[in-house]
Structure 1
Amino acid sequence: MSKTSKLLGDVTIHMLFSVIISALGPFQYGFHLAELNAPQDLIICGVTKGHVFANAFGLSNCINMTESKFAFLSSVFVIGGFVGAMVTGQGSTIYGRLKVMQLISLFFIAGSLLETISETVFTMFIGRLLIGLGAGAATVVTPLYITEISPPDGRNLCGTITQTMICLGILSTQILGYIFRHDSQWRFILVTGTGLGIVYAVFLFFIPESPAWLLFNKNSQLAKQVLQSIRSADYPIHKEIALWNNQSPTLVEEEPLITSSTTSLVSRNEPQNSITSKYNTNLCANKGIFSVLFDPLYRPAIIAVLGIMFAQQLSGINSINLYSVTLLHGVIPISSRVLAIVISAMNVITTILCAPLIYYIGRKSCLLISTIGMGVMSFILALSLVLELKLLTAFAVILFVGFFATGLGPVPFIMASELVGLEAVSATQSWCLAGNYTATFLVAQFFPLVNSWMNTLWGGTGWIFFGFAALGVINSTFIAYRVPETNGKSGPDEIWGRVKPNLNQQDD
């Protein structure tokens, strides 16, 4: 039986439903990240035509603000995301993945509602901050949850769902931005976010807690029940539990799922030639965000995931996601709003089509293809904008987004949970998203200002993409030398070369 057939046989409707509902968190991240892109001119009173919606609900057509204030509204979402990402890892470890997602839904609802009815920059600021907190938390806990409820053979594929849903969220806002493109109709885009939050909150009551989290918190019976409910009837759940316990299947059948001393279980069954077993005798203790940073065992992983996440955002992708309509207005021969939809659709399609590459050629190879390709496209995009080559600009933007989807889009969310053991996954995921949001803040806050300054200084437009091309070289170099391949590796020890060959088994 092929791996694909086996995976399809292991998937149940209950598991698929749980994945889709949990993935509404990253969907809302993408939705709110790009929701201000298309209607920017309408929101800041750059365009006024008058519309009956404003009078009917007593709300103003727009909120008078400068471009720098609008940039801050985009970046405050990222500030909230940074805080949410940093606190969620430990929170989801203590209280569970499901409870954290339920709390996240409340942030989405409250923040979106405030945005919709806002009449001042301050009210919009509070709404964006609340949404950012929820979005940051969602992008930490959702990949953990999806990975933990997915069959082992399907975790590579399921890991791409996070990025796919983010892309779908961005696409949906671009479509809504095209439909609601007159004056205060921009509020319809924002109220849609409120509806999404409500749907998310309601359906979370119908999905289970992560069985891996239940097992790790010594609720083995409920973990078995949940795991069996999301697997096919003949699925050997004891083998999957063995992976979580770091035991052989035989020991899982003969001993309790978790004994009173999980540390002894790990140390007894871990290969004696593993550096991990000699270095850290308490692997099953939950690791905090600072303990993993200062622990030499985990520090290389933290450096790797931070570097990947900075590479993801400093590649220039959010200059397109956040400002494509403004950036490309008047530059290309078609509507910039239509091109924004095409770009987002290209991102979704490429992310889905390239998902198998992560498994077949490896994570690191996909990352290198992505960073090198984006660097080249940044250089071409810069030239085409400076020289006003309109069709080449559209071509370069679409390929730029396509290269992002081959690696830098989906891979970072997968690798963050592969470079360390279960005891440090939550903390590593928090650092991963903290790096992501820090870099996103830099782009959201300073891209429009630096772009405007460079264009004024040298004339024309597009000079900033030469900078993104240079960053592509730096990103590729970092990935080549500091990021290990995880595909086909059995665990962190093998990934980081901490397991030496067992010479006694060479003749077997």
Structure 2
Amino acid sequence: MASSFRDVTPYLLILLAIATLGPLQFGYHLAELNAPEDVLTCQKKSVTRLGKIVSLVTSSTSKVGPSTTLADCIPMSRSSFAMISAIFTVGGLVGALTAGPFTSARGRRPSMQMTAAFYLVGSAVESVASSVPIMAFGRLLTGVGAGASTVIVPLYISEVAPPSQRGFFGSFTQISINLGILFSQTLGYFLSHDSAWRWILGAGVMTAGAQALGLLIVPESPAWTACSKGDVDSARRVLHRIRGRHVNIDEEVEAWGEADGKLPGEEESLLASEGGASTDPTLVSPRPISAKADRAHLGFTQVVRDPLYRPAIIAVVGIMFAQQLCGINSIVMYSVSLLRDLLPISSALLTIIISVINLGTTMAASPLPDKLGRKTCLLASIIGQGTSSLVLALSIMFEVKILSAIAVLFFVALFAVGLGPVPFIMASELVGPEAVGATQSWALGASYVATFLVAYLFPIVNEALNSALGGAGWVYYIFAGFALLWALFVIRNVPETKGRKDADEVWGRVRRTD
């Protein structure tokens, strides 16, 4: 890590800090309703002892203080709360769909400014909401900003980071998401009482405002400026400032000339145009997967119709569903209400500990995919989460509280080993450049659909199983079963990409071993 920062300028670190405020807000809004759920839905006045003390103090002084017209809570059913939580992922899908063509046409900086605007307005609407529809609308807006950020920010980072260190700096996106989750869970521990939960949602306004102000000093991506606007001189000046005057940037500038107006690995939307694809009938014959010279960039439906690319799409969609259906967001989004009265410590406090472990493990495990292999990390993560789910279910049913806490911590830590980072890495390693945009679109689409399913169905299914079968924890048997199925899927359908120079070699080795 020290060597990665050795030749990095302070200016680049400032740009990365500002850019990653987008993914940070993604994590923040993903988890913001976790701690205050019971207070927000009028089930409790506070979820922590600290909150109860603060609530008593504020209630005793409220008679002499200013009055407010905002309600302390919003009455709603379990299904209504699930809808409010899940609609964030619907907005995320919309944002991911539209961000690709927008950032390609208008640039990275205006695109990030648009995400800041969505975050700002959405957070403001959430913080003053007095009904379910208004709260849902605010969550939808912040979701759009979050979905767009997952497309735009990784692109910007890859284009301003030194070429030899793009993998390292690319991990900043996932780290910033985890920081956002930790930030929201920490605020939730202190502010989940009375109407103070509105400050948790209002904090998003301040973060979005800081992002918008910071983006005023962020330059446009030099690669986009050179390739899309053709202004190579301006691009060189910006890149020199980012890299430092002593750094030779000739190789990067030459790469701009070879790009022919197309930035390598650039994301396309789920509705990517197919009009430019070649219709040459000779292309139905066998050909290398990465034959960029022979094929134009492929659209969203073309890659799934083509038998050459279909295995890669199946693998990408499968591991994205595995990422969510093994149950990580049941902890990120619902752990406080799920684990209350089941653990030896406050579930809100445990959630903060979980977030710290998630962040620390993500940082510590970031070299593992390059050392152990992508497939190995995926399998270790899936099997580990499945085992943790089984232990958690049993410990909850038999009320072994300390074991429940340990199982939750291992559940989250093992997610960071493989299921967290690897699916996003492999989406661009299983196909050639001509199909990487459409494949990334399938990956993002699958991710948001799977996240929606867990966010919406988990609280409903959990409550139904607990009522029908008695007790609690039954839902984690389902996650353990999913883990077994996804482990078999990875073994059968996902090739190893570590050490393979291109997609041809990845799938070529698979065919020879079959």
Give the TM-score band, short-chain normalised: 0.7 to 0.9
Partner of 2:52: none
1:301-354 CA distances to partner (integer Å, 9 max, x unpaired)? 333222221111111000001110011100011111111111111101111111
**1:258–1:395 CA distance, 2 compared to 1 (3 A):** closer
CA distance in 1, matches of 2:343, 2:405: 7
Structure 1 residues 198-233: Cα deviation after superposition (integer angstroms, max 9, x where no partner): 111111122222333334426244443333332243
- Displacement of 1:279 after TM fit? 7.3
Q: How many residues align?
A: 476
Task: Please state if 1:42 is matched with 2:39.
Answer: yes
2:36–2:197 contact (8 Å) kept in structure 1: yes
Cα displacement string for residues 77-113 of structure 1 (whole angstroms, at most 9, x for unaligned residues): 1111111112222322222222211111110000000
Instruction: Give the direction of change, closer, same or farther, for the CA distance of 1:150–1:294 in structure 2 (3 Å limit).
Output: farther
Letter in 2 for 1:281: D
Q: Could you give the per-residue CA deviations for residues 232-260 of structure 1, whole angstroms, max 9, x where no partner exists? A: 43434333455x56xxxxxxxxxx55669
| TM value normalised by structure 2 | 0.85
Separation in 1, partners of 2:238, 2:437: 21
Counterpart residue number, 1:437? 448
Matched, 1:405 2:416: yes
Q: What secondary structure, in the 3-state scheme, does the structure 1 residue paired with 2:495 have?
A: coil
What's 2:179 paired with?
Answer: 168
**How do 1:42-191 residues align onto structure 2 when only pairs under 5 Å count?**
42-48=39-45, 51=59, 52=62, 56-191=67-202
In structure 2, the CA distance between the partners of 1:332 and 1:490, relative to structure 1 (3 Å rule), is same
Equivalent residue, structure 1, for 2:238: 226
Amino acid at match of 2:294: T
Q: Residue 350 of structure 1 is aligned with which of 351, 361, 369?
A: 361
- Describe the shift of the 1:406–1:181 C-alpha distance in structure 2 as closer, same or farther (beyond 3 A): same
What is the match of residue 392 of structure 1?
Answer: 403
Kept in 1: contact 2:27–2:179 (CA 8 A): yes
User: In structure 2, what is the Cα distance between the partners aligned to 1:233 and 1:440?
Assistant: 44
**Which residue does 2:14 correspond to in 1?**
17
From 223, 246, 250, the equivalent of 1:238 is 250
**What's the offset of the Cα at 1:297?**
4.9
From the superposition, tell whether residues 289 and 90 of structure 1 become closer, same or farther in structure 2 (CA, over 3 Å): farther
Which residue in 2 is equivalent to 1:333?
A: 344
1:379 partnered with 2:390: yes
In the TM superposition, what is the alpha-carbon distance from 1:4 to its structure 2 partner?
Answer: 6.2
Give me the whole-angstrom Cα distance separating, in 1, the residues matched to 2:397 and 2:352.
24
Contact conserved, 1:375 with 1:472, CA < 8 A, in 2?
A: yes
Larger displacement relative to structure 2 (381-390 or 491-500): 491-500
Q: Hey, what does 2:221 align to over in structure 1?
A: 210
Identity %: 47
Which residue is 2:470 aligned to? Answer: 459
The aligned counterpart of 1:319 is 330
CA–CA separation in structure 2 for the residues paired with 1:43 and 1:211: 45
Cα offset for 1:435?
Answer: 0.9
Using the alignment, how far apart are the partners of 1:106 and 1:469 within structure 2?
A: 40
2:366 aligned counterpart, secondary structure: helix
- Distance in 1 between the 2:431 and 2:221 partners? 19
Q: Match for residue 277 of structure 2?
A: none
Deviation of 1:274 (Å):
7.6
Residue 391 of structure 1 aligns with an amino acid whose one-letter code is I
| Structure 1 residues 304 and 155, CA gap change in structure 2 (3 angstroms) | farther
TM-score (norm 1): 0.86
CA distance in 2, matches of 1:261, 1:203: 28
Offset at 1:497? 3.2
Matching residue of 2:461: 450
1:251 paired residue number: none
How many angstroms does 1:385 deviate by? Answer: 1.0
Consecutive unaligned residues of structure 2, counting only runs of 5 or more, are: 46-54, 265-285
Instruction: Name 2:482's counterpart in structure 1.
Output: 471
Structure 1: unaligned runs, 5 residues or longer: 246-255, 264-272, 501-508
Distance 1:241 1:380 in 2: 54
| Preserved contact between residue 156 and residue 414 of structure 1 (Cα < 8 Å) | no
**What is the distance in 2 between the residues matched to 1:140 and 1:443?**
22
Distance in 2 of aligned mates of 1:427 and 1:65: 39
Check 1:380–1:169 CA distance in 2 against 1; reply closer, same or farther (3 A cut). same
CA drift at 1:39: 0.5
Contact 1:39 1:177 in 2 (8 A): yes
Q: 1:468 to 1:168 in 2, by over 3 A?
A: same
| 1:367 equivalenced with 2:378 (yes/no) | yes
Using the TM superposition, name which of 431-440 and 343-352 deviates more. 431-440
The C-alpha deviation readout for 1:120-168, integer Å capped at 9, x for no partner, is 1111111011011111111122222222222232222222211111111
State the match for 2:500 in structure 1.
489
Distance 1:66 1:472, change over 3 A: same
Structure 1 CA distance for aligned equivalents of residues 93 and 78 of structure 2: 23
1:26 aligns with 2:23: yes
Q: Equivalent residue for 1:416?
A: 427
Which residue identity lines up with residue 101 of structure 2 in the other structure?
Q
Query: Is the CA contact 1:317–1:401 (under 8 Å) kept in the aligned structure 2?
Result: yes
Cα offsets for 1:416-438 (capped at 9, x unmatched): 33334555444433322211111
- Aligned residue for 2:327, secondary structure, equals helix
Q: Report the residue type matching 1:275 in the other structure.
A: P
From 258, 276, 281, the equivalent of 2:294 is 281
Distance 1:439 1:22 in 2: 26
Amino acid of the residue matched to residue 408 of structure 1? L
